[in-house]
């Protein structure tokens, strides 16, 4: 077995290994080529910071890392770790990390972040052995808007993101896949809409029509309980096929949880966000 970085490996080969590795996952995943390219862009994946385990020309295991600078700190994000089913049980994930962590350090990365399913006890054990610690629990939702509400406000596309304003609507920090960087990376591909009272923005929604995923949805605290969030959801229901998902909502965000559940969404998986300082 040879371990090397993935910048010289085709995305087709990585995608094949990705889909095979996640074919029998607790929540099976299969990405199309378009969705995988979308993921690479959204998660800021850098194949020179990602590692693959090869037997001959066959990719049998991998770690895909994104990178970003957050509050002045260079961080890597594990956007996917997988080992194909017939090569598991050989500590390939541990060997991949033994290989890639020194390279991450050399590139100035000081922390690795990832998410792992709460029910994936094997993966949790592996990451704990590597030194990862749990930061918070995240819930992932799927569903349709439960009922129509009367549209009484103006909804129109956002021309850009005024993050000082948008962040003032937040109750919690979004996860990596819903972060400012992730959303900016896909600005042209996302549907970004705002709901207005005159010229005043009262709330906004950012939706990816390829993945059918809502990346961000927030309403001004002073304008909540007015049905504005439901109107934004109705727009997605009207304009795009359903069901849609909202992933990695902080479990402590009880207001978001209540809103999503009354809007027709249910939790389908929960995850732990974990970090390792290197």
CATH number at residue 98: 3.40.630.30
Confidence category of residue 54, pLDDT binned at 50, 70, 90: very high
Confidence of residue 28 (pLDDT cuts 50, 70, 90): confident
Say yes or no: 146 and 266 in one domain: yes
- pLDDT confidence band for 242 (50 / 70 / 90): low
Residue 62 predicted with pLDDT over 80: yes
User: Is residue 103 domain-shared with residue 147, that is, in the same domain?
Assistant: no
Summarised one tens digit per residue, pLDDT across range 144-155 is: 765 566 667 899
- Residue 136 included in any domain: no
89-104 pLDDT, tens per residue?
A: 999 999 999 999 999 9
**Residue 184: what pLDDT?**
95
Domain membership flag for residue 264: yes
Q: 61 lies in a domain? A: yes
17 and 77 together in one domain? yes
pLDDT higher than threshold 60 for residue 131 = yes
Residue 117 is predicted with a pLDDT of: 96
Q: Is residue 124 part of a domain?
A: no
The predicted pLDDT at position 71 comes to: 86
Q: Are both 85 and 184 inside the same structural domain?
A: no
**pLDDT tens-digit profile of 132-178?**
999 999 999 998 765 566 667 899 999 999 999 999 999 999 999 99
- What is the spatial order of strands in the sheet that 213-219 belongs to? 2-5, 51-55, 58-70, 73-83, 111-117, 265-277, 133-143, 244-250, 213-219, 200-208, 191-197, 154-157
| CB-CB neighbours of 114 under 10 Å | 22
CA–CA distances in Å: residue 50 to residues 8, 103, 117, 175, 222: 11, 10, 21, 20, 44
Residue 86 and residue 42 in one domain: yes
Is 101 in the same domain as 186? Answer: no
* pLDDT for the residue numbered 182: 95
Give a yes or no: residue 26 inside a domain.
Answer: yes
Examine the fold and report which residue of 65, 92, 109 is the final residue of a domain before the chain moves on: 109
For residues 102 and 202, membership in a common domain is answered with no
Q: For the residues 208-228, what does the mean pLDDT come to?
A: 94
Confidence of residue 210 (pLDDT cuts 50, 70, 90): confident
Least confident of 58-67, 108-117, 223-232: 223-232
Average pLDDT score over residue span 256-268: 94
Give the pLDDT band (50/70/90) at residue 12.
very high
pLDDT tens-digit readout, 219-239: 999 999 999 999 999 887 765
The pLDDT, as a whole number, for residue 198 is 93
Query: What global pTM score does this model have?
Result: 0.90
Q: Are residues 68 and 173 in the same domain?
A: no
In this structure, are 147 and 251 located in the same domain? yes
- Which three-class secondary structure state does DSSP give residue 65? strand
Predicted local distance difference test score (pLDDT) of residue 148:
63
Report the distance separating Cα 111 and Cα 105, nearest Å: 9
Residue that finishes a domain, picked among 109, 131, 165: 109
Cβ burial of 267 (10 Å; 0-12, 13-18, 19+) is: middle
The pLDDT of residue 147 is 55
Q: Hunting for tokens 């080529």 — which residue is that? A: 33
Q: Torsion over CA of 72, 165, 213 and 128, rounded to 10 degrees? A: 30
The boundaries of the domain holding residue 34 are: 2-109
- Closest of 45, 52, 277 to residue 176, by C-alpha: 45
Question: What are 5's two structure tokens?
Answer: 């970085």
Question: Encoding tokens for residue 196?
Answer: 């207005």
Whether 155 and 260 share a structural domain = yes
Q: Are 93 and 61 in contact (CB under 8 A)?
A: yes
Q: Does residue 121 lie in a domain region?
A: no
Are 169 and 274 contacting, i.e. CB atoms less than 8 angstroms apart?
no
The rounded percent of the chain whose pLDDT value lies above 90 is 85
CA distance 240 to 237: 6
Domain count, the chain: 2
Residue pair 130/190 in contact by the 8 Å Cβ criterion: no
Model confidence at 208, pLDDT cuts 50, 70, 90, reads very high
């Amino acid at each position: 077995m040879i371990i090397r970085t993935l910048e010289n490996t085709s995305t087709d080969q990585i995608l094949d290994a990705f889909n095979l590795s996640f074919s029998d996952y607790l929540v099976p995943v299969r990405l199309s080529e378009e969705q995988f390219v979308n993921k690479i862009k959204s998660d800021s994946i850098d194949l020179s910071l990602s590692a693959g385990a090869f037997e001959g020309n066959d990719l049998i295991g991998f770690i895909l890392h994104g990178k970003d600078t957050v509050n002045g700190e260079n961080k890597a994000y594990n956007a996917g770790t997988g080992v194909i089913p017939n090569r598991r049980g050989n500590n390939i994930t541990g060997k991949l990390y033994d290989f890639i962590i020194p390279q991450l350090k050399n590139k100035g990365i000081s922390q690795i972040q990832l998410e792992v399913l709460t029910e994936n006890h094997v993966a949790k054990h592996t990451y704990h052995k590597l030194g990862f610690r749990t930061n918070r629990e995240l819930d992932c939702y799927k569903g349709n808007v439960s009922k129509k509400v009367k549209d009484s406000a103006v909804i129109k596309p956002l021309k850009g993101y005024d993050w000082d304003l948008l962040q003032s609507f937040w109750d919690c920090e979004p996860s990596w896949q819903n972060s400012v960087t992730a959303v900016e990376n896909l600005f042209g591909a996302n549907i970004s809409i705002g709901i207005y009272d005159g010229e005043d923005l009262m709330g906004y929604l950012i939706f990816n029509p390829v993945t059918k995923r809502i990346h961000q949805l927030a309403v001004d605290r002073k304008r909540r309980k007015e049905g504005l969030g439901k109107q934004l959801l109705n727009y997605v229901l009207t304009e795009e096929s359903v069901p849609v998902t909202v992933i990695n909502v902080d479990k402590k965000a009880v207001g978001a949880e209540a809103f999503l559940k009354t809007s027709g969404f249910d939790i389908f998986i929960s995850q732990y966000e974990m970090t390792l300082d290197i």
